Chain A
Amino acid sequence: MTNTVLSCDKVCKIFDDGASKVHVLNNIQLSVNAGETLAIVGASGSGKSTLLHLIGGLDRPTSGQIEIMGKPLATLNDRELSRLRNAHLGFVYQFHHLLPEFTVLENVCLPLLIRGEPIETVQKAATEILEQVGLGKRLSHKIGEISGGERQRTAIARALVTRPQCLLADEPTGNLDQHTAHHVFDLLLKLNRELGTSLIIVTHDLQLASRLSRTFELQDGILV
């Protein structure tokens, strides 16, 4: 039985600044099943990040429909969208976007705390996932005290601590050297296997993209 985590149907995004209209995404058709991994590649400014924001419910499409876990995003209000994002989606960005004033553990706890879970449960889950990404010994370090690779692994742990159905990663290795980039990619694939989380990874790196089950390219707003 195929289990669709995410689907896009004729999704268009037009940025209209009054003077001119920019068609960033045109008729995007996409479907992602549970546990599937896919890469989206494309030139800078091709709309990769925009697509990821639309899928993540951070932005709304001009037309077309996006469904996550069978729920059309267009029908959800702000509150329901936040809940869905918190429950089913994880985000990893090129810049780790961790909060420097908090420790590694606290950063990873945040999504579950926002959900309102008891602190003991939250800390247990966060510690577990941090051990899985190999940061079991870095729990009480501040973000400034760990390396770039470790920061990205912390970001991955934060994205996965809620056990989302789908992880959206926007150039997760873009800021890392090749060796570390492969290491982080290995980790993502390992977690994909262990947790069954679908991966949608936006990247420039075709070599890394080839390690995923499917690869799409965005050209002039069209997914090919």
Chain B
Amino acid sequence: MKWKFYWREALNNLWLSKLRSILAIIGILVGSAAVVTLVSIGEMAKYKALSEFKTLGMNLASLVVNQNMDFNAGIDLTRTLIPDYNYAQSMLTLATKVANIQEVAPVATLSLPAYYAGKKLEAPIIATTYSYQTLANLQIQEGRFLHRLDRNNYFCVVGSDIANQLKNNGSNSIIGKELQLGNAYFTVIGSIKPWIGNAFISNNVNGSVFISLAAAHNFAPNLYIDTTLLQLKPDSDPDQIETDVKNFLAAKFPGLEVTVKTGKQLIVSMTHQKNVFTWMLGLIGGIALLVGGIGIMNVMLVSVTERRREIGIRLAIGARRADIQIMFLCEAIILATIGGVTGIIISLFITRIVAEFLTWEFMFSGSAVLIGFFVSLFTGIFFGIYPAYQASKLNPIDVLRAE
């Protein structure tokens, strides 16, 4: 019964000083909207990054040969195996030798000058196998990608940026054009659609020229396999595969040390990274909320000073000090709740607009709403306690005398 009275009184008092109440609410509203919006944006960014990666990279793994680098002596050739063409050939048998590996694509980057019609192209040359298309999920714009049967034919496929450069120099179709890579001439057999990227693959696909490993080996015998991309069967255990691959290589190349990175590991680290990002955004919002809380305290302290007489009368006619504290706390809670909820509603719109603008999938994080609401409420209570305490400490005699 008494609680109904407290809330009614508090609402009544807030209504009587509308402007002050609205100012306090705006403080909390901005803070709560900031927290919820920023956390939601963080969550959307995380979801966007992860979902892209999950569709492209969940079943990927990469394998890199560790080099025992001594900065004084350079690479110790007596101790380290150079991942060359023979190594690449061994890697290609992985799909048949190790369970749950579907595709293998050794990748070597050649730093040879590339020319088209006598003009230099700024394009790294990527020597790999036809499997690269599946692994990197490349879409063909024109012609085709490398094929198993191309073997050591001097064919090349170009990324979208290179394709555009070739087009700028003349005709619409680039199929059949000749590129000079090093000392050899390659025929363009296809181009790739603009590639959006994949956290797993570091190659700049759009700006590269692709040739087959066998052809590369012919004119650049000392090629170096930077990395080997593996596609794992869905739902396979990446840890088991990592062990199997290492065992296979240990038997084949004793002393060889490799690092295997799997998509799952990367997702874990990406999730962690993005969570840190989200928390940081939340923290920034939290600072806004803190300012809002100080606003509430300010407004409540003014209210206590203005209502000294009322407090004195209430105490004189039998209100307990606790009643006075509760009355002011109720007011703070009401302000914080209205501010918090309004802030959440506003942040719903802002998040929606941001998602629309960035063409992200709209997501309104439930945890952000809960955090926003409870942090607002907590802020209201926390910053309402001191003014409420001040109010309850007033001496009714002093107040009633000072008419």
Contacts of B9 in A (CB 8 A): 113
A118-B9 Cα distance, complex, nearest whole Å:
14
A19 interface hit (Cβ, 8 Å):
no
B5 interface hit (Cβ, 8 Å):
yes
A56 interface hit (Cβ, 8 Å):
yes
The answer to whether residues A99 and B310 also contact, given A59-B397, A93-B400, A113-B5 and a CB cut-off of 8 A, is yes
The answer to whether residues A116 and B5 also contact, given A58-B396, A79-B322 and a CB cut-off of 8 A, is yes
Point out the residue from B2, B318, B397 that lies within 8 Å of A53, measured CB to CB. Answer: B397
**Chain B 276-320 against A: per-residue CB contact (8 Å), 1 yes, 0 no?**
000000000000000000000000000000000110111111111
Point out the residue from A78, A85, A119 that lies within 8 Å of B321, measured CB to CB. Answer: A78
Name which residue of chain A comes closest to B321, CB basis. Answer: A78
A189 interface hit (Cβ, 8 Å):
no
* Contact yes or no, A114 B323, CB < 8 A: yes
| Smallest beta-carbon distance B151→chain A, Å | 93
* Contact yes or no, A97 B397, CB < 8 A: no
* Contact yes or no, A83 B318, CB < 8 A: yes
* Contact yes or no, A86 B397, CB < 8 A: no
| Smallest beta-carbon distance B159→chain A, Å | 74
B16 interface hit (Cβ, 8 Å):
yes
Point out the residue from A59, A110, A116, A117 that lies within 8 Å of B317, measured CB to CB. Answer: A110
A93-B315 Cα distance, complex, nearest whole Å:
14
The answer to whether residues A101 and B16 also contact, given A58-B397, A79-B320, A116-B5 and a CB cut-off of 8 A, is yes
- Interface residues of chain A: helix, strand, loop or mixed (majority): helix
Name which residue of chain B comes closest to A80, CB basis. Answer: B320
**Chain A 46-73 against B: per-residue CB contact (8 Å), 1 yes, 0 no?**
0001000100101100000000000000
**Chain A 113-127 against B: per-residue CB contact (8 Å), 1 yes, 0 no?**
111111100000000
A interface residues, how many (CB within 8 angstroms):
31
**Chain B 1-44 against A: per-residue CB contact (8 Å), 1 yes, 0 no?**
11001000100000010000000000000000000000000000
* Contact yes or no, B317 A91, CB < 8 A: yes
A101-B16 Cα distance, complex, nearest whole Å:
7
Contacts of A91 in B (CB 8 A): 316-317
| Smallest beta-carbon distance A100→chain B, Å | 9
Name which residue of chain A comes closest to B401, CB basis. Answer: A49
Contacts of A118 in B (CB 8 A): 1
Point out the residue from B1, B318, B401 that lies within 8 Å of A85, measured CB to CB. Answer: B318
* Contact yes or no, B316 A56, CB < 8 A: yes
Name which residue of chain A comes closest to B15, CB basis. Answer: A101
A83-B403 Cα distance, complex, nearest whole Å:
26
| Smallest beta-carbon distance A22→chain B, Å | 15
The answer to whether residues A82 and B397 also contact, given A97-B313, A99-B313, A116-B5 and a CB cut-off of 8 A, is no
| Smallest beta-carbon distance A144→chain B, Å | 13
A197-B400 Cα distance, complex, nearest whole Å:
23
Name which residue of chain B comes closest to A53, CB basis. Answer: B397
Point out the residue from A95, A110, A158 that lies within 8 Å of B403, measured CB to CB. Answer: A95
A87 interface hit (Cβ, 8 Å):
yes
- Interface residues of chain B: helix, strand, loop or mixed (majority): helix
A49-B316 Cα distance, complex, nearest whole Å:
14
Name which residue of chain A comes closest to B316, CB basis. Answer: A91
A118-B3 Cα distance, complex, nearest whole Å:
11
A113-B2 Cα distance, complex, nearest whole Å:
8
Contacts of A101 in B (CB 8 A): 16
A22-B320 Cα distance, complex, nearest whole Å:
30
Name which residue of chain B comes closest to A85, CB basis. Answer: B318
| Smallest beta-carbon distance A58→chain B, Å | 5
* Contact yes or no, B319 A114, CB < 8 A: yes
A111 interface hit (Cβ, 8 Å):
yes
* Contact yes or no, B321 A114, CB < 8 A: no
Contacts of B316 in A (CB 8 A): 56, 58, 85, 91, 97
* Contact yes or no, B403 A111, CB < 8 A: no
Contacts of A158 in B (CB 8 A): 317
* Contact yes or no, A116 B2, CB < 8 A: yes
Chain B CB count within 10 A is highest, among A49, A91, A97, A99, for A97
* Contact yes or no, A78 B320, CB < 8 A: yes
Contacts of B313 in A (CB 8 A): 97, 99, 110
A158-B313 Cα distance, complex, nearest whole Å:
11
* Contact yes or no, A110 B314, CB < 8 A: yes
* Contact yes or no, A114 B322, CB < 8 A: no
The answer to whether residues A115 and B318 also contact, given A97-B309, A99-B310, A99-B313 and a CB cut-off of 8 A, is yes
Contacts of A111 in B (CB 8 A): 317-318
Point out the residue from B16, B318, B397, B403 that lies within 8 Å of A114, measured CB to CB. Answer: B318
A86-B278 Cα distance, complex, nearest whole Å:
54
Contacts of B319 in A (CB 8 A): 82, 86, 114
A83-B315 Cα distance, complex, nearest whole Å:
10
Can you identify 7 A-B contacts, CB atoms within 8 angstroms? A58-B397, A82-B321, A82-B323, A85-B316, A93-B400, A113-B9, A115-B318
Using CB atoms and an 8 Å cutoff, list the residues of chain A in contact with chain B: 49, 53, 56, 58-59, 78-79, 82-83, 85-87, 91, 93-95, 97, 99, 101, 110-111, 113-119, 158-159, 162
Using CB atoms and an 8 Å cutoff, list the residues of chain B in contact with chain A: 1-2, 5, 9, 16, 309-310, 312-323, 396-397, 400-401, 403
- Per CB-CB distance, the 9 closest pairs between chain A and chain B, nearest first, are A86-B318, A116-B2, A95-B403, A82-B320, A111-B317, A85-B318, A114-B319, A101-B16, A97-B313
Given contacts A85-B318, A87-B318, A99-B313, list 4 more A-B pairs with CB under 8 A.
A53-B397, A82-B320, A97-B312, A159-B317
